[in-house]
Structures are given as C-alpha cells and as structure tokens.
Structure 1
Amino acid sequence: MKLSHLAETLSASKILAISNAVKERVRNGEIIHNYTVGDFDPSIFPIPVLLEKEIIRAYQQKQTNYPIAEGNPELRKVLSDYLQTFQRHHYKPSEILVAAGGRPLIYTTYQVIVDPGDVIIYPVPSWNNEYYAELTRATPCVIHTKAENNFMPTAAEIKPFIRDAVLLALCSPQNPTGTFFSAEQLKAVCELVVQENERRGANRKKLYILFDNIYNLLTYNDGAADPVAVCPEVRPYTIYIDAISKGFAATGVRVGWCYGPEPVIAKMKAVLSHMGAWAPNPEQVALANFLRHQDSVKDFLISFKEKLQLRLELIYNAIMKFKKEGLPVEAIAPQASIYLSLKIDIPGDFTPLLLNEAGIAVLPFSVFGAVNAANWYRLSVGTCKEEDITPLLEKLRHVLENSLATIH
C-alpha cells in the first residue's frame, strides 16, 4: 500500500516505544517502577480538587458546544490576568491562543514559521523537535549540549548556525533534564536573536524563538529565566507555549495556550482552526473558573511542588552517596520539572539491565536525540510513591554493584 512520502518516512516516537513496552509488561503482571513517562499517577498526584469540581460542573451545565477557535474569550482574559500574577508577563487576550494542550500549539508554531527546507535550530537532549522538523520538512541544525552546562545550549554553540535559521526551539525548564537557563545564559541567546533580526532587515523572514514554558510552575529554590524578562527587545520574536498538563498534574485535561506577537498568533489561529485541535469547551469553562481562585491555585502548587521536590532530592542524594562509595553514577541537582538527570557510567545501554534486573524503567537520553550522551538517563517521579524510593534505590545499588563486579 502506497501512502504519502510523509506517512512512509515519518519516524515513530522512540519515547513511546519504550514506554508502551514497559506498560505491556505491567499489564502482564510484572512489578515495574515505571519512571519513563512525563505523566502522573492520579492516585499520587491528582489534579486540583477545585479544578475537578469545575470540570464536573461545566458538564452538568451542558457546556458542550463547539468552543471559539482561538479559545473562549473568558478563558483568554483569565489567562491574561494569570500570566501577570504568576509569570509577570503582560499579554492581551488577543495575543493568547488556546488549544487542546501544548502539542498542537508547538506544531502550529512550526507550520506558521517554517517552510520546507528552512533551517531550524534545537538542542539535544530535547523533546520531540526532531519529529516536528520531519513534519514540516525543515532542515534541522542540532546543538549537542554538554553536561557541564546542565545540558542547556549556550549562545556560543548557537551562534555559528543562526544566520540561516528561521526558528530556534528552546525548552526551559527542560524536558528531559530538569534544568533551566540562568538569566545570563538566556540573555546572551536572546541578544543573538535580536541582533540577527536587525541584520536581516524588513524583507526577509525573521528568526523566532519557540519557548516551551510548560514546566515554569515547577521550579525549586530559584525561578527559571524567560526570554522577554531578560531581554525585552526579543518580545516581537518570541512565542511561549504553556498548558495545565504539568503544573497542575492534568496531562489528560487537554488545555494549552501560547502567547506572543499578535500577527503571529493570528496566523496560528487560522491554521489551528482548520486542524480542529480546540480544547474541549467544558474544560475551558472550568479552567477559567479555577484560575480565578488564585489562592487555591497557590495552595495547590505549594503542596504539589513539595511532594515532587522531596522525591527528586531523596533520589538525587542517594545517587550522590552511591558516587562517594565508588559506584559509577552521577546526577545533576534537580532544578525543576519532574525529572532527574542520572548518569550510569557503564558501557552500553543500561536500560534493559536496569529493567530486567531491578524492575526500574527509565529513558536514555539517546531517545531525546542526544547520541553523544549515551550514559545519561531521564528518571521521572510523576508515578513515584514515597514509600517505594528506599527499595528501588537498594535495587539500583544491587544492579550497579553486580555490573561493576562483572566489568572488573
């Protein structure tokens, strides 16, 4: 059967391939600590109680018509207020676009900015950019980041490729690393973009930043820098992507939003309206009502972040203890999100051994495009029970000790 070139050549998700294989083994009765997916176990991390009540109420009130293509006016107004309070961003409702989660908004950003053959820049490890490049038939320019920079791209690494590019795709706090840009790092990158756009003049397509901001609420200790805050001149060239998926543990409640320069948002609205990737109307109504209760939002976030940070730090501290004991491991101190970057300095892909011998499932950075960081892994704590941490760490220690003995 012959289909389109895109259908015949599009790569399958390496992340989902591993995650689905693990889920199948769990369905078959195996006991596995599945720390592969960027999702939450609702029995451990439920969505906010008030948000759940508002969703139920919206359905009971029969709010089941088509939503407005760009997002309901009430929600976009509330989001405008929410951005000012929680992120100190000042964007009008007309500069905000709502969709069924962050993914369709990322894809729409690519579609609006990128023509076939256009150069896009993105770092690795990163989430899904290689597939969006395939979908838009872009020419990818991949920045292989370094552990000493917390796997965040630097201005020096980006600069050699910037003259030909139309899109720079960034994520901070970053999936899969759980790290984020410092203000100094990000300012240097943004200044590159501003300078390049000034050089291009009026008749050439500009270079835009797609800034995936979806983990912005889940930072620990210090907040993550963002482009417009550190470099106001980059505002006309920056499209932010956000959603309730991560900050409110609501991955299946499909509401996302982007915000940026109004001319770009207007074109994105046109593309999105033909895709039909609207957020369901009841969820839009519910989210608007929930976000109006800012005290409830803040209370939820305090408790949610405390639980996530506890898990990340317990595992991180144990890994660093293992390192002091001579085991071949390393980790980056968790800064944000639900992920811990873990290095297992044993040759080859340690993923199958960890799964088969310890019942622990993680993702290698190679599935995020980072073939040069083969010994690094992402561990997600969204499904992690606090009482499971000690036994899983003992299993990890056992596998590491056995592997080290085999090598020697």
Structure 2
Amino acid sequence: MAIDLTTLLPKRDDTYVGTMAKGLVGSEILRIAAEIRELTAQGRKVCNLTVGDFSPKEFPIPTTLGQGIATALQAGETNYPPSDGVLDLRQSVQRFYERVLGLKYPLEGIVIAGGARPIIYGTYRTLLDEGDTVIYPVPSWNNNHYTHMMGARDTVVVTSADHGFMPTVEQLAPHLSSARLLCLCSPLNPTGTMISPEVLKAICERIVAENRGRKERGQAPLILMYDQIYWTLSFGRTKHVTPVELVPEMAHYTIFVDGISKSFAATGVRVGWGIGPPAIISRMRDVIGHVGAWAPKAEQIAVARSLDDVQGTASFMETMKHRVQERLEALHQGFEKMREAGLPVRAIAPQGAIYLSVQFDLVGKAGLKTNDDIRKLLLEKASFAVVPFQAFGLKDDTGWFRLSVGAVSMADIREAMPRVEATLRAAVSGA
C-alpha cells in the first residue's frame, strides 16, 4: 500500500529553507497569469495581455526550425551538448552577429544556454561577490530578484514616461563608481521602448572613463549587461543600437544577452546565448555547466541551420515583426482615440518588443486606490488582462501597465477595446 503524503507534508514552512529563499518574491506576472488561466478554464473569454509569451496559434515558430528539431531527434542527437554549446551553433551565431549587427566576436566569446535566463543568471553569478552593487532602472524585468539571489546590493534608478522609461546618463553617472554591474535592456521589457543612440553612447563613454581609472588602480571593471533579446522586433524609424558599435572600447565591458525566444516566437524551445569578453564568457560557461542549464542538443543543431538560412530567417522575422506591430498599433490607436475623447488613458507609441506601455489614470476615481484595483476592474468589467508596473520593480501606484500582444489575435483586440472604453467611462462617471 502506498504511503499517502498528500496531507502529511506542509505546503509552506519557512523553517525548512534558507534566508535567500525566504526572502525571494515569486513572480507577480506568473501569479496573474495563473488567475487568467483559471478564468479561461471556467469558460470566460479574456483578452490576455499578461505573459510575455507567444501563442503558437498566433505566432508559430519557423517551419524549418520545427522540422530541424524533429530531424535532429530522429538522428539520435539526444546526448549532452558541449558545455559552451554545439560548435555549429556558436559559429552560426558568430556569422549572424557579423552579418546583421556588424560585430564579429571570437568563438571563445560565445556561450549557448537554455534560453536567455541562464545567461542573465550566469552574468550575475560570474561577476558578483556578496555585497557588490548592481545598478538597474525600474521598471525592468527581474533584476531585483537576481540581485537578491546573489546577496548583492542594488542601486535602483526610477525612470519616467517622459524619457520612455529609459535611464538618463545624469541619473546613472553618480552611481557608476560604486557598482560592479549595470543592467540595461533595449527594447525594454516591460515598456516596449528603446534607448536612444545618443543616451547609450553617453552612458558607454562614462563606463569607459570609469574603467580606465579602475584599471590604473587595479580594480575590477564595471560591466554592462545589455539584454537585447527583443532587438529584432523594432518598429518604424526606431533603430536598435549596441554599446560596442557606438563605443568600440565597450567590447571589453559588455555582455550581450540574446537568443531565439522572441525573434523566432520560440519561447519554449529554450535556446539563448551570451556574447562578450572571452575572459568572462569562459567562466560563465563553467557556471552554466555546473547547473546544467544547457540548451538541448537537437534544438541547438536546428537553430544553427535556421540562422544560416539567411533568406528564410529574414523573411520570417519581417513577417513576424509586421504581425506584432499591427497588434501594438491597434491597441495604441484605440487608446489614443479614448484619450482624445477625454478619457483618463494614455499610451506610448510602440517602438520595439511585444509590449505597449499604457497608463490608466484612475487612482482616486471610483474608489480605486492602487494599480491592482485598476487591474481587477479591467479584468472584471472588460475581460481585459494586463500587468501593473509593480511586477517590474516600480513601487508607486502610477497607473502604468504592460500590455503584451504575443498571445492575442487582432479579433481579440478589436472585441476588447469597446469593453475597455465602456469601463473607463463608467469609472469616470462613478457608475
């Protein structure tokens, strides 16, 4: 007879775990997403703009990628990959960056992992000692949690809508001398905005100057982690730029976080890469190896072939970018019409990624006191699911939310916008 442990074992007891785990906050995004899944399981139709993921129905991966994975599995490519990644993939990433970004890195400066998250974790773990300082802007994705896991100190720079929620050099400059790691992301999760070339160049020039002084003093350099996982999704006249193209000396101090999760709508395929100085990447390879955060070998082989299919990759990315942009534009235009009609809402025009920043200026209206009150109102009255900026480290209830379009159709958006407008009108009128 089996031993029934379902009631015997406690579901939560912090006496079992260490200090770091006790203080680690779970993902607010995943908590909200679980709430939406429960509603949809009950038969409720929701315009789900919460998780930064793609519905395979709306955004399937490239056909050649899926076929390539199946072919590699059938060929028996199921054993361990090399700790730094399959050579063919590292070479194809090297060619991809040279071809599209104009940056040719040595192979020793490229490491493959199971998505971008292990690269971010590997960057933190490789560089930081307990008590080291990390600078990051808010809103931004998960830097607060990674800093906590490392036992590091954080310097949080609160950004504003006026600057597209990107930090300015004036905000960062006073803190650079005390930091070991600076974290930037462009296009930015959660805002869908991008850093300007002028601002990024000014920040990089400050980093280079700081590190020249540190080198003379024999101190460890300040490193920039540049998360560009969404860089292939940039719209209109907005141009993605890299630290190294703007200030070549930044090659010594920049770690790129990248992969196929967003560019190929392949979040579940789990292939990412880190690119940077070989002296750092070689140590990161060992960190990733010890936690077993490799991308599966079959997926690596298939991604290598996909990246080398220059015409096919370019065609897929262009089509995908168009389909993301049309959804973002539909939302933005709808909110602009509401704003012009006098409703308390505004949105930042989409620049990149799969996100739109929208402010529902409802705090203090209709008994609404917090962003979570607004979120619940939109979900209950309009079946419109969004994520507040508090999930990205911003503490104040400013009414700003992230809207993610990877899991919705154009029909979902068209049907939802009248419901949102009616909800805002009712909130303003006090109905």
State if a TM-score over 0.5 links the two structures.
yes
Matched with 2:255 is: 239
Matched with 2:367 is: none
Give the distance between the partners of 1:15 and 1:385, measured in 2 at CA.
20
Shift of 1:189: 0.8
Matched with 1:371 is: 395
Matched, 1:333 2:357: no
Matched, 1:314 2:338: no
Matched, 1:126 2:126: no
Matched, 1:286 2:286: no
| Cα deviation digits, residues 193-221 of structure 1 (max 9, x gap) | 11111111252111000000100100012
Matched with 1:213 is: 228
Q: Contact 2:47–2:413 (CA<8 Å) still a contact in 1?
A: no
Matched with 1:102 is: 116
Give the distance between the partners of 1:264 and 1:24, measured in 2 at CA.
43
Matched, 1:276 2:300: no
| Cα deviation digits, residues 92-138 of structure 1 (max 9, x gap) | 21110000000011001001111111110000000000000011011
Q: Contact 1:101–1:256 (CA<8 Å) still a contact in 2?
A: yes
Q: Secondary structure at the match of 1:79?
A: helix
1:254 is matched with which residue: 270, 282, 286? 270
Shift of 1:5: 1.4
Aligned CA distance change for structure 1 residues 230 and 372 (closer, same or farther; 3 Å): farther
- Give the letter aligned to residue 221 of structure 2: K
Matched with 1:388 is: 412
- Give the letter aligned to residue 85 of structure 1: R
Matched with 2:150 is: 136
2:48 is matched with which residue: 15, 34, 50? 34
Matched with 1:44 is: 58
- Give the letter aligned to residue 393 of structure 1: M
Aligned CA distance change for structure 1 residues 113 and 120 (closer, same or farther; 3 Å): same
The TM-score, its normalising length taken from structure 2, stands at 0.93
Q: Secondary structure at the match of 1:309?
A: helix
Matched, 1:174 2:188: yes
Matched with 1:79 is: 93
Q: Which moved more, 1:246-255 or 1:223-232?
A: 223-232
1:397 is matched with which residue: 396, 414, 421? 421
Matched, 1:150 2:164: yes
Shift of 1:12: 1.2
Give the distance between the partners of 2:303 and 2:89, measured in 1 at CA.
7
Give the distance between the partners of 2:29 and 2:185, measured in 1 at CA.
17
1:225 is matched with which residue: 238, 241, 263? 241
Give the distance between the partners of 2:270 and 2:427, measured in 1 at CA.
42
- Give the letter aligned to residue 269 of structure 1: R
Give the distance between the partners of 1:97 and 1:255, measured in 2 at CA.
11
Structure 1 runs, 4 residues or longer, greater than 3 Å off: none
Q: Contact 1:362–1:377 (CA<8 Å) still a contact in 2?
A: yes
Matched with 2:4 is: none
Q: Contact 2:134–2:153 (CA<8 Å) still a contact in 1?
A: yes
Shift of 1:29: 2.1
1:159 is matched with which residue: 165, 170, 173? 173
Counting aligned pairs with the same residue, the percent is 41
Matched with 2:321 is: 305
- Give the letter aligned to residue 21 of structure 1: E
The TM-score, its normalising length taken from structure 1, stands at 0.98
Q: Which moved more, 1:14-23 or 1:167-176?
A: 14-23
Shift of 1:84: 1.1
| Cα deviation digits, residues 42-99 of structure 1 (max 9, x gap) | 0110001111111111111111110000001111011100111122221121110000
Shift of 1:160: 1.2
Q: Secondary structure at the match of 1:371?
A: coil
Give the distance between the partners of 1:43 and 1:15, measured in 2 at CA.
22
Q: Contact 1:364–1:374 (CA<8 Å) still a contact in 2?
A: no
Q: Secondary structure at the match of 2:273?
A: strand
Q: Contact 1:366–1:374 (CA<8 Å) still a contact in 2?
A: no
Give the distance between the partners of 2:391 and 2:105, measured in 1 at CA.
35
Q: Secondary structure at the match of 2:378?
A: helix
Give the distance between the partners of 1:240 and 1:119, measured in 2 at CA.
19
Q: Which moved more, 1:184-193 or 1:2-11?
A: 2-11
Matched with 1:359 is: 383
Across the two proteins, how many residue pairs are aligned to each other? 407
- Give the letter aligned to residue 335 of structure 2: I
Q: Calculate the aligned-residue CA RMSD, in Å.
A: 1.1
Shift of 1:373: 5.8
- Give the letter aligned to residue 102 of structure 1: A
Shift of 1:143: 0.3
Give the distance between the partners of 1:103 and 1:303, measured in 2 at CA.
26
Q: Contact 2:181–2:225 (CA<8 Å) still a contact in 1?
A: yes
Q: Which runs of 5+ in 2 are unaligned?
A: 1-14, 364-369
1:12 is matched with which residue: 26, 40, 45? 26
